[in-house]
Amino acid sequence: MAMKIRDSFSMQDWEVMHAFLSRNYRPDLALCSRTVFEWQFMVRPGCREANMFCGWDGERLVGILGFIPIQLFWGETEDSLNGAWAINWYVEEDYRQGLGWLLVRKLQDVYPVVLGTEATHYNQQIVARLGWKLYPRLPRYLSVLDLKQAICMLSSGASEEDLRPMLYENGRADPAGLRNLEQETDDYRPDWRLYPAMAYGAIRSMSYFKWRYFNHPIFKYFIVTAGQSHRPAVCVYRIEQAFGDYRALVARVVDFFYPNDPQGESDGLDLIHAVLRRLRADGCAYADFFCSSHAFGQTLLRAKWKIELMERQILPVRLCPIERKSFSYNIELGIAKGLSSPALESTYFTKSDADADRAALLPELLRAK
Q: What is the pLDDT of residue 175?
A: 75
- Closest Cα partner for 118 from 359, 354, 365? 354
**Which tens digit of pLDDT belongs to each residue from 145-202?**
999 999 999 999 999 999 999 999 876 677 777 899 998 888 899 999 999 999 999 9
Residues 114, 166, single domain; the answer is no
Residues 152, 298, single domain; the answer is yes
| Cβ atoms 33, 366 nearer than 8 A | no
| Cβ atoms 230, 189 nearer than 8 A | yes
**Which tens digit of pLDDT belongs to each residue from 62-118?**
999 999 999 999 999 999 999 999 999 999 999 988 899 999 999 999 999 999 999
Last residue of a domain, one of 115, 135, 155: 135
Cα separation of 84 and 168, whole Å? 37
Residues 144, 286, single domain; the answer is yes
**Domain CATH code at residue 17:** 3.40.630.30
Residues 108, 49, single domain; the answer is yes
**Sign of the Cα pseudo-torsion (122, 130, 114, 61, in order):** negative
Report how far apart, in Å, the C-alpha atoms of 46 and of each of 50, 139, 241, 272, 307 are.
12, 40, 36, 41, 46
> What secondary structure letter does DSSP report for 155?
P
Domain count, the chain: 2
- Closest Cα partner for 334 from 49, 113, 31? 113
Residues 181, 215, single domain; the answer is yes
Q: What is the pLDDT of residue 46?
A: 82
Residues 261, 198, single domain; the answer is yes
Q: What is the pLDDT of residue 363?
A: 66
- Closest Cα partner for 167 from 263, 330, 304? 304
Q: What is the pLDDT of residue 227?
A: 93
**Which tens digit of pLDDT belongs to each residue from 209-258?**
999 999 999 999 999 999 999 999 999 999 999 999 999 999 999 999 99
Instruction: Check whether 367 has a pLDDT greater than 90.
Output: no
Residue 257 lies in a domain: yes
Find the radius of gyration of the CA atoms of the chain.
Answer: 21
Cα separation of 283 and 185, whole Å? 29
Helix axes 262-281, 294-302, angle to 10 degrees: 60
Other CB atoms within 10 A of residue 29 CB: 20
Residues 114, 178, single domain; the answer is no
Q: What is the pLDDT of residue 269?
A: 95
Residues 166, 306, single domain; the answer is yes
Residues 57, 166, single domain; the answer is no
Residue 23 lies in a domain: yes
Who wins on pLDDT, 369 or 233?
233
**Which tens digit of pLDDT belongs to each residue from 119-155?**
988 889 889 999 999 999 999 999 999 999 999 999 9
Residues 147, 290, single domain; the answer is yes
Q: Which residues pair with 116 in a beta bridge?
A: 86, 332
Q: Which residues pair with 167 in a beta bridge?
A: 144
| Cβ atoms 11, 3 nearer than 8 A | no
Residues 320, 180, single domain; the answer is yes
| Cβ atoms 296, 271 nearer than 8 A | no
Last residue of a domain, one of 135, 151, 167: 135
Last residue of a domain, one of 85, 116, 135: 135
Question: What DSSP string runs through 271-338?
Answer: HHHHHHHHHHHTTEEEEEEEB--HHHHHHHHHTT-EEPPTT--SS-S-BTTB--S-----EEEEE-TT
Residues 79, 178, single domain; the answer is no
Locate all alpha helices (DSSP H) within the chain, ordered by sequence.
14-24, 34-40, 99-110, 121-129, 147-152, 160-163, 206-209, 262-281, 294-302, 363-368
Phi/psi at 330 (5° precision): -100, 165
Question: Residue 78: which domain range?
Answer: 3-135
Confidence grade of residue 342 (pLDDT, cut at 50, 70, 90): very high
